């Protein structure tokens, strides 16, 4: 069995790659991290904790430690709980990230290759999903995961196209949920269209249904949305399982996760 990591590395250096106008939203891309090295700040911290001098430490070293700040629960590769979409889901109080059982996030999965079937800043259509499903040929596993490969692996954080991803709509999200999938993942930076695209559509039409309609579909049909996945090109079309295990944060609407495929 091969383990394939589908998780983005959280690197504070990535903040410097963001376009200037997007740096206020850096907390969903990478945390700020203060590093304490065993031969540097870590030995000062360690000596202070033990009420001794740095000279008293074995080999003159302390601990390695990191302090993470500016850390959003929707940071990097993360799992959205239903609470993210609204206070209710399917007419009941929406579940938080710790309400979701681990066995709901350990499931069979398949990949839909949408490259050539979707465009930047444009909705992913049901027709595109149906064509990708036909090409895949495997049945959607009940309670399983559908992972969308949109082609965003072509772009890095310094590319404007990274933030101009194809997005899911209300209709297309409910279509996948209606097939029996419980976990819906994407390699794009977000599940819906980008915020600037949604805002423009709203101001042009006056129709507020275009605002976050892909996520809001999760109020009608409970799904767990996983965003900012990576390395989907390394997966077969079907016949594997994925663990989407989020950090256990009390009362949270989401949490960063280590997402690993078992092939």
Burial class (CB in 10 A: 0-12, 13-18, 19+), 252: middle
Q: Provide the b/e sequence for 50-63 (b: ≥16 CB within 10 Å).
A: eeeeeeebeeeebe
Q: Is the Cβ–Cβ distance between 227 and 186 less than 8 Å?
A: yes
pLDDT in tens, 109-129: 999 999 999 999 999 999 999
pLDDT at 21: 84
Residue 20 pLDDT more than 90? no
Whether this prediction's pTM lies above 0.75 is answered by yes
Residue with tokens 């589908």: 6
For residues 97 and 185, membership in a common domain is answered with yes
pLDDT in tens, 183-202: 999 999 999 999 999 999 99
Give the domain range for residue 60.
32-69
Cα dihedral 168/174/177/179 (nearest 10): -110
Residue 132 pLDDT more than 90? yes
- Residue 65's SS3 state is strand
Q: Is the Cβ–Cβ distance between 141 and 111 less than 8 Å?
A: no
For residues 117 and 200, membership in a common domain is answered with yes
CATH code of the domain covering residue 159: 3.50.30.50
| CA 60 to chain centroid | 41
Provide mean pLDDT across the span 30-48.
Answer: 96
Residue 214, Ramachandran bin (φ over 0: left; ψ between -120 and 50: alpha; else beta): alpha
Q: Is the Cβ–Cβ distance between 75 and 28 less than 8 Å?
A: yes
Count of domains forming the chain: 2
Note whether residue 13 is domain-resident. no
For residues 108 and 190, membership in a common domain is answered with yes
Q: Of 238, 203, 218, 138, whose CA–CA distance to 173 is shortest?
A: 218
For residues 45 and 99, membership in a common domain is answered with no
């Amino acid at each position: 069995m091969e383990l394939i990591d589908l998780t983005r590395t959280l690197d504070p250096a990535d903040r410097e790659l963001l376009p200037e106008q997007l740096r206020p939203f850096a907390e969903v891309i990478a945390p700020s991290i203060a590093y304490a090295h065993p031969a540097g700040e870590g030995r000062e911290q360690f000596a202070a904790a033990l009420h001794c001098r740095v000279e008293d430490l074995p080999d003159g070293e302390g601990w390695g430690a990191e302090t993470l700040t500016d850390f959003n629960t929707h940071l990097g590769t993360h799992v959205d709980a239903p609470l993210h979409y609204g206070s209710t889901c399917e007419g009941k109080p929406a579940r938080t990230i710790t309400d979701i059982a681990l066995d709901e996030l350990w499931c069979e999965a398949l990949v839909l290759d949408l490259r050539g079937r979707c465009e930047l800043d444009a909705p992913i259509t049901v027709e595109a999903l149906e064509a990708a499903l036909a090409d895949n040929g495997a049945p959607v596993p009940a309670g399983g995961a559908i992972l969308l490969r949109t082609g965003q692996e072509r772009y890095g954080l310094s590319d404007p196209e990274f933030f101009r991803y194809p997005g899911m709509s209300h209709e297309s999200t409910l279509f996948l949920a209606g097939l029996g999938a419980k976990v819906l993942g994407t390699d794009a930076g977000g599940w819906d269209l980008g915020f600037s695209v949604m805002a423009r559509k709203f101001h042009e039409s006056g129709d507020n249904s275009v605002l976050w309609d892909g996520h809001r579909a999760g109020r009608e049909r409970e799904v767990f949305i996983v965003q900012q996945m990576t390395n989907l090109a390394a997966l077969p079309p079907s016949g594997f399982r994925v663990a989407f295990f989020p950090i256990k944060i009390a009362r949270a609407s989401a949490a960063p996760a280590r997402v690993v495929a078992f092939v």
